[in-house]
A and B are shown apart, each in its own frame.
Chain A
Amino acid sequence: MFSNRYIFIYATVLVIVSAAILTLASVGLKPMQDKNIRVEKMQQLLSAVGIESTPKDAEDLFNKYFIEQHAVNAKGEVVASIVNGKQTKGSITPFALDTKKQLALYKANDVSASLPIYICMKDGEKSYVVPVLGNGLWGGIWGNIAFSEDLNTIVGVNFDHKSETPGLGAEIALPDFQDQFKGKTIFENDNFTSVEVVKRADKNNPHQVDAVSGGTITSNGVTDMLKSCLQFYIPYFNSLKK
């Protein structure tokens, strides 16, 4: 029979060997996984401005259309810029900013919080794209909102989610839901109103879109996400309009 001593040693050795193998795999595959995540982020940004991309051409398209990226803080000041691939201000790469971390800093009133904004030039039209991030029913939801040059009208959005219910909350990731946002505005006479996701939205109201039926908590999550994240950019938008 096996002694207790044997059992303990056996279990310990087994776990250590397994942990070592997993560590190796994780370290070895990390660069490829990170690249996939980068590419996906680019695809989502492209999709917000209505450009179809595949994982293969996403990087090229991104570099072609997104001519500028800036990091802005809550006061509306630009802390870092990359224009046409060259760092013109600051030292951080706006694209590499972790939106989640920065939003947490912002909520804790940390003045160092900064978020990225991307400027896209497509067919001679300039648009500003900002990332948003919030909570749905089961997990995180996130997306990108593209504004036209007036920094008020939404030209396109894209949302994604970690684990919303298929057929209900997960509908936010589908074009039917997202297309409603086109043409909506986030200001009413210079006052920030955001866009709300509500039941039986009035189609003529420029600040409302129809909620997903059966997905109330996810829909409210989208409303909260837009309100809290876009709020951050208002000082920057105002400084641009002057």
Chain B
Amino acid sequence: MAEFNFKLIKNPLSKENPITIQVLGICSALAVTAKLQPAFVMALSVTVVVAFSNVIISFLRNTIPPRIRIIVQLVIVSLLVILVDQVLKAFVYDVSKQLSVFVGLIITNCIVMGRLEAFAMSNKPFDSFLDGIGNGLGYAVILITLGVVRELFGSGTLWGYQIIPESFYNFGYQNNSLMIMPPMALILVGIIIWVQRARNKELCEKE
């Protein structure tokens, strides 16, 4: 049994976060976070795909001819993505409709290919698995944060349940429609990056 390298899970959550530090996977982070539920399902799907493609590629890493390695990676990733898509269609049809093309686009999500090239091609399967889980969770943390903020202020609900009481609306409170638009997600990601850098000076570039 390989040693459990906790750093592989912890680092992507903070100082190596795929979204806020590596700035990968922004496209889907903007597109699917208007509501919490699709954001959660997307995060889960990406985590599963990254973790398992990392493991498979890591097992195969010594057999893969370098000249066709990107194609091999793509085949493995697409295989997993199509499986995830089929499972979503069979069990959570509503959510799969909302996510529509974005599940298919996990194939092109930079996080997946990025981790395969940067980690799985040169590390052992168990470490690769942890790295995949870590990066998936790092992606999930940001997506879920965005999902919570955007759904709460954009629709007044969380996971579809009304959170902001009716009486607020009677006093003239209104949902912020800007929250449901993709630009607001980008602004929120910016704010998260700002806060993260303000608290951790190591992350700032040297002048």
Using a CB–CB distance below 8 Å, which chain A residues touch chain B? Answer: 2, 6-7, 10-11, 14-15, 18, 21-22, 25-26, 29, 32-33, 36, 39-40, 55, 163, 167
Contacts and interface: CB of A to CB of B under 8 A. Distances in A.
Contacts of A55: 93-94
Contact of B65 (A10, A18, A22): A10
Contacts of B100: 163
A15 B75 contact: yes
A36 B65 contact: no
A130 B112 CA distance: 45
Contacts of B87: 25, 29
Contacts of A39: 93
B65 A6 contact: yes
Given A6-B65, A10-B63, A26-B86, A32 B91 contact: yes
Interface residues of B, number: 24
A204 to B, nearest CB: 31
A4 to B, nearest CB: 9
Contacts of B101: 163
A25 B66 CA distance: 30
Contact of B93 (A10, A14, A40): A40
A11 B76 CA distance: 11
Contacts of B72: 10-11, 14
16 contacts: A2-B65, A2-B66, A7-B68, A11-B71, A11-B72, A15-B75, A18-B78, A18-B79, A25-B83, A25-B86, A26-B86, A29-B86, A33-B86, A33-B90, A36-B90, A163-B101
B187 interface: no
Contacts of A2: 65-67
Q: Secondary structure at chain A's binding surface: helix, strand, loop or mixed? A: helix
Contacts of B82: 22, 25
Interface string B24-47: 000000000000000000000000
A33 B96 CA distance: 11
Nearest to A34: B90
Contacts, number: 52
Interface of B: 63-68, 71-72, 75-76, 78-79, 82-83, 86-87, 89-91, 93-94, 100-101, 181
Nearest to A18: B79
Contacts of A10: 63-65, 68, 72
A29 B93 contact: no
Given A11-B68, A11-B72, 13 more contacts: A2-B65, A2-B66, A10-B72, A14-B75, A22-B82, A29-B87, A29-B89, A32-B90, A32-B91, A33-B90, A36-B90, A55-B93, A55-B94
A182 B40 CA distance: 37
A21 to B, nearest CB: 6
Nearest to A160: B97
A18 B56 CA distance: 12
B93 A36 contact: yes
Q: Which of A29, A39, A167 has the most CB of B within 10 A?
A: A29
A77 to B, nearest CB: 36
A123 B198 CA distance: 63
Nearest to B63: A10
B75 A18 contact: yes
Nearest to A39: B93
A21 B87 CA distance: 13
Contacts of A6: 65
| For the complex of A and B, 7 pairs with smallest distance between CB atoms | A32-B90, A36-B93, A2-B65, A29-B90, A18-B79, A7-B65, A33-B89
B63 to A, nearest CB: 7
B14 to A, nearest CB: 33
A36 B79 contact: no
Contacts of B86: 25-26, 29, 33
Nearest to B31: A166
Given A14-B75, A22-B83, A7 B93 contact: no
